[in-house]
Amino acid sequence: MGLRLMWRAKAAKLLLGTTALAGGTTIANSDDPFTTIKLCTIVPLRLFRDSVTAASIAFDYEYSLWGLPENSSERLKVKREVHIRSASKLQELCFRNGGIYIKLGQHISQLEYLVPDEYVQIMRESMLNNCPVSSYDQVREVIKKELGEFPDEIFKEFDPVPIASASLAQVHVAQTQDGQKVAVKVQHTHMTDTAAADYATVEFLVNTVHLFFPSFDYRWLVNEVRESLPKELDFLVEAKNSVKCMDNFRRLSPHIADYVYAPKVNWDLSSSKLLTMEFVDGPLINDLKTIQRLGINPRDVSKLVSQTFAEMMFRHGFVHCDPHAANLIVRPMPSGKSSLFGKKKPQLVLLDHGLYKELDDSMRINYAALWKGLIFSDAKTIKENSIKLGAGEDLCVLFAGILTMRPWNRVIDPSVDHLVIHGTDHSELQMYASQYFSEINELLRRLPRVILLMLKTNDCLRAVNNSLLQGSSLETFFIVGSVSSKAVIEAKFSQRLSLLSWLNAWLEKISVDARLLGMQIALWILQLQRSLTL
């Protein structure tokens, strides 16, 4: 009983300290102290909501699973039901609190290797484009504060109803005075202030949960949000990211530069909390029916997505780290180009450039070499580069499993389609996630934050490709293998090499090209077999 009282006293001190810290941080960072003081009254309420939700979820698991034998069919059935109830409670908490909570919910929706599938599905279905909306009066005030006039004074037309709303901002369609159709991204009112307060409350909750349950260590996730959120809240940083991204494609990947696009920024009508961009029309990347109705083959879209992000990760070292379905649009190539079979060639439009990560040359090449090893089932290369990236010798096998969502025996299987995930594999993956929960948390704690963002990007791309193809594809892995191998070979040739080293690099290039050709032939055969069975 004494120990329990000590825990409660410690938690109470943490609660008071965090509330004070959140309030002080919020007031100090605010442009409007009077409004912020009022906002600070929300912090204890949100912290109370957080605590009640966490306690409710914990109690539901303890009570519902009490006395049920481990691994019994009844326990598994009840656990799935608790997962659904708990995920729904967490979803409701995120929507009620908004802001940073929705951002965290979006992160959770991508953690297939760490959280139960019920959480992934419920969060993914609701967190991408069903976020809370600011009122038009609030939007007017933000625009007035940023540009000096109300929207009806600046724009020829301004639709008060947003076409999309995300965790940090919402988008309105407008027309400039010269008749250009634009998308105006407006930050949610007082987002900067509430973000500071919300971060403090979330950090308190995560630290408290870790204090009582050491195996539940999500502090790495909170740390990542703390580092990335200020950049995402500055829309001028986002605008500059989009320009740099397109410049990288023109300089480093000219062969696909025309197929990747970012809306042009209207700098005169943009600020840190307001971003005015060219309006680009087209279906979201998971809208299969509309994509097909436009005469575009979803398989071509999947290949373009894989090529685009492989180029970013392995050759540019400047990576869009939030490529979920709501941030990717597809449209037919403006030039009207078509494939050999008459299908229109797709152009991928990248939205929301707020979250980018830079890989230095060493990390970029190590990451490319790791993926080259994964594609070619090279256990030695996989382990060497996993260790270089921070996984450690003891967790490099687990790291490979998280990247590919495949167990080690499949990762090093020499068959050409060893990384392709089939429909029956999903329950096996969830079993591995449950079995190695503590080890996965330890791995995520060790890895550099930039690699954590690569994992998130990887998860987003897997979800996008699954929606396009209803499963994973050998073509995706062929593209990843090709681009990563090219990056590794280019890095070797860029060094000052002796004649012998140059010869070894040249022989490696020939060997890699031959293996890729073998993969391409196998891919053609599989496609032929598939077409003959239709």
**Active site members:** 322
* Residues 27, 35: Cα–Cα separation, whole Å: 9
The encoded tokens of residue 278 equal: 């060219």
User: Is there a contact between 191 and 97 (Cβ–Cβ < 8 Å)?
Assistant: no
CB atoms under 10 Å from CB of 120, counted, come to 21
What crossing angle do the helices spanning 235-252 and 219-232 adopt, rounded to 10°? 90
CA dihedral of residues 201, 205, 210, 216 (deg, nearest 10): -110
* Residues 73, 91: Cα–Cα separation, whole Å: 27
* 3 state DSSP class of 179: coil
Handedness of CA 152, 156, 160, 162 (dihedral sign): negative
∠ CA 292-296-300, rounded to 5°: 120
The encoded tokens of residue 70 equal: 């481990």
CA atoms within 13 A on the CB side of 129: 12
Burial class (CB in 10 A: 0-12, 13-18, 19+), 300: buried
Phi/psi at 455 (nearest 5 deg)? -65, -45
CA atoms within 13 A on the CB side of 473: 29
Residue 174: beta bridge partners? 158, 182
Measured in whole angstroms, the distance separating CA 159 from the mean position of its chain's CA atoms is 29
* Residues 526, 520: Cα–Cα separation, whole Å: 10
The residue length of the chain stands at 534
The encoded tokens of residue 176 equal: 């400039």
* Residues 400, 408: Cα–Cα separation, whole Å: 7
Q: Which residues contact 370 (CB under 8 A, 6 or more apart)?
A: 381, 382, 385, 386, 389, 403
Measured in whole angstroms, the distance separating CA 72 from the mean position of its chain's CA atoms is 35
* 3 state DSSP class of 383: helix
Burial class (CB in 10 A: 0-12, 13-18, 19+), 414: exposed
* Residues 168, 101: Cα–Cα separation, whole Å: 10
CB atoms under 10 Å from CB of 529, counted, come to 9
User: Is there a contact between 354 and 377 (Cβ–Cβ < 8 Å)?
Assistant: no
